Amino acid sequence: MLLRHTPKEINPRKALTINPAKTCQPIGAMYAALGIHSCLPHSHGSQGCCAYHRSTLTRHYKEPVMAATSSFTEGASVFGGQANLVQAIDNIFTIYDPDVIAVHTTCLSETIGDDIPQIARKAEADGKIPSGKFVIHVNTPSYVGTHVTGFANMTKAMVDYFAKSTGTRANRINIIPGYVEPSDMEEIKRIAEMMGVPIVLFPDTSNVLNRPQTGKYEMFPKGGVTVEALMSTGDSMATIGLGRMASSPAARALDTKCKVPCEILDLPIGFKATDRFVDTLRKTAAINVPDALNEERGRLLDIVTDMHQYFYGRKVALAGDADQLIALTEFLVSIDMWPVHIVTGTAGKDFEARIREITRNVPHPVNVSAPADMFLLHQWIKNEPVDLLIGNTYLKYIARDEDIPLVRFGFPILDRVGHSYFPTVGYRGGMRLLEKILDALMDRQDRDAPEESFELVM
């Protein structure tokens, strides 16, 4: 395999990315759009771009991801895609009848400079947008940012287009879940329901990309946040954004537009981040935390107590999205594992500073870089081996080359199932993560154990 030629000697690279730890903006925008009920994402660019984005999401979720495209050809590439988009809007509402078309741009349409709001106004003036239907848009050039940026921008577009304030505050909290799985969004809603807190979660891909098999295909499943709920977000008493990179833009836009105060937290992965999320819900809604939720925390703590000897001092290398890595690193440090190599494809000095703050008491040098790629991570591992890898499917090549156990986490996961059905956020999600980590470590222990140490009880 090519990765076996990765050298240990690290040379600075500025203009070359090898094995990137990210993908492009339109994928994140498409994923966020699928979190609106009865919404059809629309890729304003070439058919190939849309096919790649749909394919990646379909392979990750094992669900048929629907999206439309402006299908640029040579003519649109030279003269602009206005005619293509106006015709597409007409076709989509006529044939598929969604409530919302969520347009995101691609490299090609961004380079041309198509004015999407102007095109949408022309479509409306030409009678192509039926009454009660909506066309929203976001600019997502692939040569800037990552899939997390695209998700954040599309989520902000939901605020820009839909949020309204009537001047009367409602006893309700908005929660922006960040770039997480449908199962994680379900878990966030379950925690809020346990606490008796009315919420609007947006976007919400639960029951869209993890829907049950009924034998009947539905192009627009029952899941997703409704347009009415999005409009009501301007009257909520507060907004909680989970994950600073994915949720901050929408939360702050809602504060600016409708004066809904916001608080930005880390993704609730592990003890401390989940505690902060639960405590923020408690204080904002002025309620008590139910015993059932405290018991879930106690079970998570019990697993750590019982199995701590297998976590302690194990060195970990991580790659993925910045928001997820911050919360995951904090969780690993709290159970005395040592995250020593950490890379994200998303740019940001704040990320590096936060990771260094979290790992300041780790008794081992910590490498962290943003933005960086998995080639650099592989080089670090060659110079300082680790006991465990945590990241997406593409880490499996490094895992095989270096003979290191891998826990799949993040996006995309193309060769396993379960991530869209079993959460990793909240206390229950923490239990799931610990199970996966323990399985990986103890399977390796069993594999390498000599006959006299191959025990039933560890």
**Alpha carbon distance 115, 118 (integer Å):** 5
Question: Which pLDDT score is estimated for 230?
Answer: 98
Tokens of 254: 């809602």
Give me the number of domains the chain comprises: 3
> Nearest-CA neighbor of 202 among 20, 25, 35?
35
367 shares its domain with 412: yes
Tell me which amino acid residue 103 is.
V
Tokens of 284: 């904002």
CB atoms within 10 A of CB 347: 17
Tell me which amino acid residue 93 is.
F
pLDDT confidence tier of residue 456, bands split at 50, 70 and 90: confident
Tokens of 195: 């606490």
Question: Which pLDDT score is estimated for 76?
Answer: 75
* E strand map for 345-405: 367-369, 388-391
Question: Which pLDDT score is estimated for 1?
Answer: 53
Mean pLDDT of the chain: 95
For residue range 185-218, list pLDDT tens digits in order: 999 999 999 999 999 999 999 999 999 999 998 9
Provide the CB-side half-sphere exposure for 42 (13 A, CA): 31
110 part of a folded domain: yes
**Alpha carbon distance 179, 245 (integer Å):** 9
431 shares its domain with 337: yes
In the chain, DSSP finds a helix count (H) and a strand count (E) of 17, 13
End-to-end Cα spacing for the chain: 36
Give the burial class of 156: count Cβ atoms within 10 A of its Cβ; 0-12 exposed, 13-18 middle, 19 or more buried: buried
For residue range 365-394, list pLDDT tens digits in order: 999 999 999 999 999 999 999 999 999 999
176 shares its domain with 127: no
Q: Any residues with CB less than 8 A from the CB of 136 and at least 6 apart, and which? A: 100, 101, 102, 103, 157, 158, 160, 161, 162
233 part of a folded domain: yes
253: CATH:
3.40.50.1980
CB atoms within 10 A of CB 292: 9
Lay out the sheet containing 68-69: strands in order across: 68-69, 39-44, 100-105, 134-138
Query: When comparing pLDDT for 293 and 455, which is higher?
Result: 293
10 part of a folded domain: no
Q: Are 175 and 242 in contact (CB under 8 A)?
A: yes
pLDDT confidence tier of residue 135, bands split at 50, 70 and 90: very high
- What secondary structure does DSSP assign to 136-205, as a single string? EEE---TTSS-HHHHHHHHHHHHHHHH----S--EEEEEEE--S--HHHHHHHHHHHHHTT--EEESS--
**Alpha carbon distance 29, 104 (integer Å):** 7
Question: Which pLDDT score is estimated for 314?
Answer: 98
234 shares its domain with 339: no
154 part of a folded domain: no
Tell me which amino acid residue 405 is.
P
Average pLDDT value for residue range 68-85: 85
Q: Which of 290, 315, 334 is the last residue of a domain?
A: 290
Q: Are 323 and 246 in contact (CB under 8 A)?
A: yes
CA 196 to chain centre: 26
157 part of a folded domain: no
CA 321 to chain centre: 8
pLDDT confidence tier of residue 458, bands split at 50, 70 and 90: low
Q: To the nearest whole percent, how much of the chain has pLDDT over 90? A: 89
Tokens of 331: 């969780």
Q: Are 434 and 303 in contact (CB under 8 A)?
A: yes
321 shares its domain with 440: yes
Q: Which of 240, 271, 290 is the last residue of a domain?
A: 290
Tokens of 110: 């961004």
413 shares its domain with 371: yes
State the Cα angle at 158 between 157 and 160, rounded to 5°.
60
38 shares its domain with 105: yes
397 part of a folded domain: yes
- What secondary structure does DSSP assign to 56-67, as a single string? HHHHHHTS----
Q: Which of 147, 178, 196 is the last residue of a domain?
A: 147
69 shares its domain with 174: no
Tokens of 68: 């439309």
| 373 SS3 class | strand
Tokens of 183: 């199962």
Whole-structure pTM value: 0.96
Average pLDDT value for residue range 353-369: 96
Question: Which pLDDT score is estimated for 80?
Answer: 78
Q: To the nearest whole percent, how much of the chain has pLDDT over 70? A: 99
Q: Which helix (H) or strand (E) holds 28?
A: helix 25-33
Residue 402: domain span: 293-452
> Nearest-CA neighbor of 296 among 183, 195, 403?
195
Indicate whether 82 pLDDT > 80: yes
344 shares its domain with 446: yes
299 shares its domain with 435: yes
* E strand map for 324-422: 338-344, 367-369, 388-391, 406-408
447 shares its domain with 307: yes
For residue range 245-298, list pLDDT tens digits in order: 999 999 999 999 999 999 999 999 999 999 999 999 999 999 999 999 999 999
Query: When comparing pLDDT for 5 and 334, which is higher?
Result: 334
447 part of a folded domain: yes
For residue range 143-192, list pLDDT tens digits in order: 999 999 999 999 999 999 999 999 999 999 999 999 999 999 999 999 99
Q: Any residues with CB less than 8 A from the CB of 444 and at least 6 apart, and which? A: 405
236 part of a folded domain: yes
181 shares its domain with 272: yes
Average pLDDT value for residue range 336-351: 93
Q: What pairs with residue 176 in β-bridges?
A: 241
Residue located via tokens 């300041």? 360
